[in-house]
């Protein structure tokens, strides 16, 4: 039974009611409207949902409650601890911006307003939106919603002060070479594991976690290669699987870097043995306290080097990876497929999406070409 009648209470003019099911399974839903036509459309939608087997009870859950149950059921058993942390971060954001919104009341407009009000970096908002869309897509599959309100076009409105521009993602070739030469000429001692990590990353494009997980056996001094098959989680102090299946890889290293690492491994082994510091897994970056450095300390060491070289300390460790990737992509003699495999990406599409960016020098060259065309 469905009906629309004048709302006897204060508020909107009309109240729509719809009942579905029978006997003990019978459920009643109601909603108020200012327009009679809107009320009748809503009743029609509810009746269609009932025919399709929509779970009315769950559709009335708060979105954040449904989201958290979804995370616990479908994500927690299969994702890494670090990835789980991103789901929890999104849950905290959703609790502040969508905490009082029921699933059935979640609209594209409401989601866009949430995105507009976040005041976070582009990457943080992108992750929130990606997880929200995935959760609502499953809600549709499970019959809780008839459609995904986040499936349409939604704009990411990021806080510029929290979002890295290209000038922070890509170093100039000149600055990259200055940092590289500093690291290649440095005399590494036991207190310099952070800088040694920077050397490895600058010459291989490894992710920080991949670099921290390196062991003696991963360096092939005969063939001048480095093998990546694990990643170190600094937050939880555990070894984990690489980010993607293609992240397991063997890549070339310059001979000079291999020679530096060969000397370091011999020196580190003797020092730790003399000081009674255990290194049973033979980690290359084990420090004198028997620990691997944290990713944050490596980043801090990188900022110190930038200051030492008279540069603005605006680049993160990941800049090495961005810059190396862009240099390789810009070289017509290196195939995109190889660059993708070298970086350990899941697909070539990811390489093209995130790493086809112009280095500062390339911008100047391309700008010159444009002027030639304009000036005829």
The number of folded domains in the chain is 3
Same domain, 45 and 65: no
Same domain, 189 and 338: yes
In a domain, 371, yes or no: no
Distance CA 21, CA 208 (A): 56
Same domain, 318 and 343: yes
Q: What is the CATH number of the domain that holds 216?
A: 1.10.443.10
Same domain, 314 and 269: yes
What ranges in 31-147 are assigned the alpha helix state H?
A: 36-51, 56-59, 63-70, 81-97, 108-116, 122-141
Same domain, 184 and 297: yes
Same domain, 92 and 213: no
Same domain, 48 and 69: no
Same domain, 356 and 218: yes
Asked if 207 and 231 count as a contact pair (C-beta separation under 8 A), the reply is yes
Q: What is the CATH number of the domain that holds 70?
A: 1.10.150.130
> How many Cβ atoms sit within 10 Å of the Cβ of residue 257?
20
In a domain, 366, yes or no: no
Same domain, 302 and 180: yes
Same domain, 191 and 303: yes
Residue that the structure tokens 């806080």 belong to:
159
In a domain, 373, yes or no: no
pLDDT (tens place) for every residue of the chain, 376 residues total: 688 888 888 888 888 888 766 666 667 778 888 888 888 887 777 776 666 555 567 888 899 999 999 999 999 888 888 788 899 999 999 999 999 999 988 999 999 999 988 888 888 888 999 999 999 999 888 878 878 999 888 888 776 655 455 455 668 888 999 999 999 999 999 999 999 999 999 999 999 999 999 999 999 999 999 999 999 988 888 888 887 788 899 999 999 999 999 999 999 999 999 999 999 999 999 999 999 999 899 999 999 999 999 999 888 898 888 888 888 887 888 888 888 888 888 888 877 776 665 455 565 666 666 556 556 5
- CA 257-297-339 angle, 5° bins: 45
In a domain, 285, yes or no: yes
Residue ranges making up the domain that contains 187: 173-361
In a domain, 124, yes or no: yes
Closest to 250 measured CA to CA, from 223, 216, 270, 272: 223
Helix 173-185 and helix 295-308, axial crossing angle in degrees, nearest 10: 110
In a domain, 372, yes or no: no
Same domain, 250 and 296: yes
In a domain, 167, yes or no: no
Same domain, 238 and 266: yes
In a domain, 370, yes or no: no
62: helix, strand or coil: strand
**How do residues 254-302 score in pLDDT, each as one tens digit?**
999 999 999 999 999 999 999 999 999 999 999 999 999 998 999 999 9
Distances (CA, A) of 334 to 325, 340, 352: 11, 11, 14
């Amino acid at each position: 039974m469905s009906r629309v009648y004048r709302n006897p209470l204060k508020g909107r003019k009309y109240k729509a009611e719809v009942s579905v099911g029978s006997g003990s399974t019978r459920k009643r839903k109601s909603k108020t409207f200012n327009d009679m036509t809107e009320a009748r459309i809503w009743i029609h939608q509810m009746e269609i949902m009932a025919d399709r087997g929509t779970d009315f009870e769950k559709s009335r859950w708060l979105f954040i409650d449904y989201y958290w149950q979804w995370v616990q059921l479908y994500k927690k058993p299969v994702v890494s601890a670090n990835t789980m942390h991103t789901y929890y971060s999104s849950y905290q954001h959703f609790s502040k911006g969508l905490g009082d919104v029921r699933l059935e009341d979640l609209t594209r407009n409401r989601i866009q307003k949430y995105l507009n009000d976040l005041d976070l970096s582009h990457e943080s908002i992108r992750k929130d939106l990606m997880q929200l869309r995935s959760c609502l897509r499953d809600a549709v599959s499970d019959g809780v919603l008839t459609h995904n309100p986040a499936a349409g076009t939604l704009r990411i409105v990021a806080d510029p002060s929290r979002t890295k521009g290209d000038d922070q993602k890509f170093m100039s070739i000149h600055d990259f070479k200055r940092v590289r030469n500093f690291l290649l000429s440095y005399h590494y001692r036991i207190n310099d594991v952070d800088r040694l990590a920077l050397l490895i990353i600058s010459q291989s494009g490894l992710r920080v976690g991949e670099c921290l997980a390196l062991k003696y056996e991963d360096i092939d001094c005969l063939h001048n290669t480095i093998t990546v098959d694990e990643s170190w989680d600094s937050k939880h102090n555990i070894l984990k699987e690489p980010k993607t299946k293609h992240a397991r890889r063997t890549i070339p290293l310059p001979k000079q870097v291999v020679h530096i690492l060969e000397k370091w491994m011999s020196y580190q082994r003797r020092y730790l043995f003399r000081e009674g510091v255990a290194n049973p897994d033979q980690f290359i970056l084990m420090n004198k306290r028997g620990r691997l450095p944290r990713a944050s300390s490596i980043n801090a060491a990188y900022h110190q080097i930038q200051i030492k070289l008279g540069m603005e300390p605006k680049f993160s460790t990941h800049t090495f990876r961005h810059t190396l990737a862009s240099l390789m992509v810009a070289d017509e003699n290196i195939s995109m497929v190889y660059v993708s495999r070298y970086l350990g990406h899941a697909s070539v599409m990811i390489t093209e999406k995130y790493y086809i960016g112009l280095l500062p020098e390339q911008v100047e060259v391309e700008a010159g070409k444009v002027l030639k065309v304009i000036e005829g």
